């Protein structure tokens, strides 16, 4: 019995490894065998099953002039769906996407207290399945994200700041009533996954996403794996005797570079206004604050890329160039650190990325 279970786990693992390879780029059966170390026979069995499930496609071959061209296999995510639920402090967003990252339908509503919320969610999902006309059997799972911290394993929202009514809420029991697998993540980690599958971090092994708006959130991927612990760049200090933060630390990045902080006393009401008026002094100040923390993160993790999202996505070329110049002047590593703007803006796709990650890993 135990042997059978182990074989099933191994089989599942091999299947996911093969799916990840094919998702990265089209590959042939022979190449898969070479890259995974599996026998050709084992690869054939798994590929045949993935083709019958509709997860992968055989690409049409070109007419070869000499010999036979290998049949290339590509990932077919457009018939596999995920439901994404993004719980935010003022609103929540529900949507259905395919695993290629196409959002079929997305709807936003004012936030509700947990009591009654999940009943409403179930109704919304049923409506969305009907509206999109998708086959409910093809929904792989439901991704739920909320402000952190969350206990992903216990599927519980813990104690996010300024969100007291949602403290200690268990997501698992309520959502399982729908009959699908449910996975919970904090929004910063989910944003990192979204950029890894659908943004500039595709194929990047080590990167950090930084969300800058009312606060500062961060997510880290190292060696292609999401760092599951509580990673809070916003609460790393850029000034050891600086402003006292609620977390107990002094000089936290968030106290200087969160948008309300950088705007304080300037007369500007939004980061958009700062960019539209091309206020170089303020843009440079924000770049310097963020660069100081990014330099520390790079020294700790030897990153390949940093992705900035949130309010900083608005015409990001100038600030990203300033940050790039700053951090690359102060690095020990041989390789340049790339600074990019985040590309995934759909709130429900960010939540669905948790399911995409479960599908491949």
**Nearer residue to Zn ion within complex by CB, 1 or 240:** 240
Element (H, E) at 306: strand 305-310
Residue of 29, 235, 347, 357 that binds Zn ion (CB under 5 A): 235
Quick check: 245 binds Zn ion (CB under 5 A)?
yes
Q: Helices 40-53 & 29-36, crossing angle to 10 degrees?
A: 120
Quick check: 45 binds Zn ion (CB under 5 A)?
no
Considering the complex, what minimum distance in angstroms separates the CB of residue 186 from Zn ion? 16
Q: Given the rule CB under 5 A, which of 154-162, 183-191, 250-258, 312-320 is the region that contacts Zn ion? A: 250-258
Q: Given the rule CB under 5 A, which of 66-74, 100-108, 242-250, 350-358 is the region that contacts Zn ion? A: 242-250
CA angle 194, 232, 202 (to 5 degrees): 25
Contact 210, 221 (CB under 8 A): no
User: Nearest 5°: phi and psi at 14?
Assistant: -65, -40
Measured distance CA(294)–CA(312) in Å, rounded? 15
Please name every residue paired with 84 in a beta bridge, in sequence order, or none if there are none: 95, 143
Measured distance CA(37)–CA(61) in Å, rounded? 25
Considering the complex, what minimum distance in angstroms separates the CB of residue 158 from Zn ion? 17
Q: Is 113 helix (H, G, I), strand (E, B) or coil?
A: coil
Q: Given the rule CB under 5 A, which of 18-26, 91-99, 233-241, 326-334 is the region that contacts Zn ion? A: 233-241
Q: Is the dihedral of CA 19, 21, 22, 24 positive or negative?
A: positive
Residue of 185, 187, 252, 306 that binds Zn ion (CB under 5 A): 252
**Nearer residue to Zn ion within complex by CB, 119 or 161:** 161
Quick check: 247 binds Zn ion (CB under 5 A)?
yes
Considering the complex, what minimum distance in angstroms separates the CB of residue 233 from Zn ion? 11
Residue of 36, 249, 343, 361 that binds Zn ion (CB under 5 A): 249
Quick check: 239 binds Zn ion (CB under 5 A)?
no
Element (H, E) at 173: helix 172-176
Quick check: 130 binds Zn ion (CB under 5 A)?
no
Binding site for Zn ion (CB under 5 A): 235, 245, 247, 249, 252
């Amino acid at each position: 019995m135990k042997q059978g279970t182990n074989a099933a786990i191994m089989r599942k693992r091999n299947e996911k490894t093969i799916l990840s390879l094919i998702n990265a780029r089209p590959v042939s059966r022979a190449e898969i065998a070479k890259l995974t170390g599996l026998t050709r026979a084992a690869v054939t069995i798994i590929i045949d099953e993935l083709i019958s499930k509709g997860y992968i496609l055989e690409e049409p071959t070109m007419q070869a002039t000499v010999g036979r061209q290998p049949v290339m296999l590509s990932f077919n995510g457009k018939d596999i769906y995920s439901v994404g639920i993004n719980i935010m402090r003022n609103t929540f967003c529900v949507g259905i996407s395919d695993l290629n990252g196409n959002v079929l339908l997305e709807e936003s509503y004012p936030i509700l207290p947990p009591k009654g919320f999940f009943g409403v969610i179930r109704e919304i999902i049923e409506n969305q399945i009907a509206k999109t006309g998708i086959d409910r059997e093809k929904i792989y799972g439901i991704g739920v994200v909320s402000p952190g911290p969350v206990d992903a394993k216990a599927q519980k929202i813990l104690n996010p700041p300024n969100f007291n009514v949602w403290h200690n809420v268990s997501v698992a029991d309520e959502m399982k009533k729908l009959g699908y697998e449910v996975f919970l993540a904090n929004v910063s980690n989910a944003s990192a996954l979204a950029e890894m599958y659908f943004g500039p971090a595709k194929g990047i092994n080590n990167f950090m996403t930084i969300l800058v708006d009312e606060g500062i959130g961060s997510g880290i991927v190292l060696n292609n794996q999401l760092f599951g612990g509580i990673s809070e760049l916003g609460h790393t200090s850029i000034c050891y005797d600086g402003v006292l933060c609620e977390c107990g630390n002094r000089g936290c990045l968030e106290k200087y570079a969160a948008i309300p902080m950088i705007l304080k006393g300037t007369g500007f009401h939004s980061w958009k206004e700062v960019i539209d008026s091309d206020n170089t002094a303020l843009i440079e100040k924000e770049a310097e604050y963020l660069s100081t923390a990014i330099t520390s993160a790079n020294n700790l993790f030897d990153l390949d890329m940093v992705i900035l999202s949130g309010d900083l996505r608005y015409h990001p070329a100038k600030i990203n160039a300033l940050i790039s110049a700053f951090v690359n002047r102060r690095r020990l590593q041989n390789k340049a650190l790339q600074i990019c703007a985040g590309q995934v803006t759909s709130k429900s796709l960010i939540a669905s990325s948790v399911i995409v990650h479960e599908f491949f890993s």
